[in-house]
Homo-oligomer: A and B are copies of this chain.
């Protein structure tokens, strides 16, 4: 047993979209999380700091957890990990600093706080030997922090190129696809909830720049002064420029670049840029985010996913909670991070019960009635046909042996196999049919 039992008490400051998401995911998947963490970690939210405790909220947290007093939350002995989700750089700074000084690990999604005042907070983290985790601060559910910090630890990071502001990406996509001008695309983004009421930081490039600063700091190991970062937003992009870009083979994206030069200097900037439309980043649409990382060992890699939203961001917050929990409990118990199975057994679905649509090619003797014979056997098995085709070889229009392709609706593989067995027995079928699944991904 660990010093305080296996349950880790959490204090959450801020209970908006992401905070409620954390509550929900712990309620929904708490058991799974505990199993995966070796059965030794459970999480319990014990204090929630909000401005108005009376407000009706989405997540079903009991009223007695709510408080307006962040100091008492941080000081509460039942609170072992502090989750900062209030945003801003003033109260949030005080709260995070107080937690670190109290020896309590911090999990935050606050990119502005860390980009602007991270140096001081990291120093407190070092001094008090207590971690501050911030996977949720960059690219929502994409685990790019852990990738750069841990998975690519042996790489000199040559460059990072990211699309890490979903609002801007949506607006630019609509300006490209629908040829909207900027104000109309912004209006649409607001109506869909993809832009905040105050969209300033999203469209002026600073939200993305804060994230780029964090990625640059991780990749190159030193605090980056926001004053030294070149930042331009998308407010001045015109449909004319987007049209030109398209004609020239480019797309316009709000791009963050962090690049190490031969002289050791770091180029870091955020601005709307032309990128070749064949590059994988060019196909990042809607509010998705993607970060391309080039390391001297790993070469080119890309991390893609939802860059914002309740569940993806909560996914990263909870991953950090597990990190913090392991630090508090398992370090002292020798627990390790190698994988261990957490279920003795599971059920593999028999392949005959798995379903997709199919492409089936039958090598046949071309005679009247072939399609009818095959189709009626398929019908007998209850398998729908969405198309048939037989390519005619122009050099041999009356070939005796041809291929007949059937496209089949979704059905269990076993059903298909049964039908194929009967079809193979037909005189006109000369070889075994060839089957490909048509995947719906």
Contact = CB atoms under 8 A, between A and B. Distances in A.
Nearest to A432: B236
A349 B252 contact: no
Given A153-B319, A244-B389, A441 B343 contact: no
Contacts of A36: 149, 153, 221
Interface string A381-418: 00000000101000000000001010100000000000
Interface string A29-67: 100110111000000000000000000000000000000
Contact of A228 (B141, B340, B348): B348
Contacts of A303: 301-304
Given A132-B338, A146-B146, A274 B438 contact: yes
A436 B337 contact: no
B341 A222 contact: yes
A371 interface: no
Nearest to A357: B274
A5 interface: no
A349 B266 contact: yes
Nearest to A288: B300
B273 A130 contact: no
Interface of A: 21, 25-26, 28-29, 32-33, 35-37, 105, 119, 122, 125-126, 129-135, 141-143, 145-147, 149-156, 161, 217-218, 220-225, 228-230, 236, 238, 240-241, 244-245, 248, 250, 252, 255, 257, 261, 263-269, 271-276, 279-281, 283, 292, 295-306, 309, 311-312, 314-316, 318-319, 322-323, 327, 330-332, 334-349, 351, 354, 356, 359, 361, 389, 391, 403, 405, 407, 434, 436-439, 441
25 contacts: A122-B339, A133-B337, A141-B295, A143-B152, A147-B147, A150-B322, A151-B315, A153-B318, A153-B322, A154-B318, A154-B319, A218-B339, A220-B343, A221-B346, A228-B348, A240-B403, A266-B349, A271-B437, A274-B437, A280-B304, A297-B314, A301-B306, A330-B331, A331-B335, A331-B336
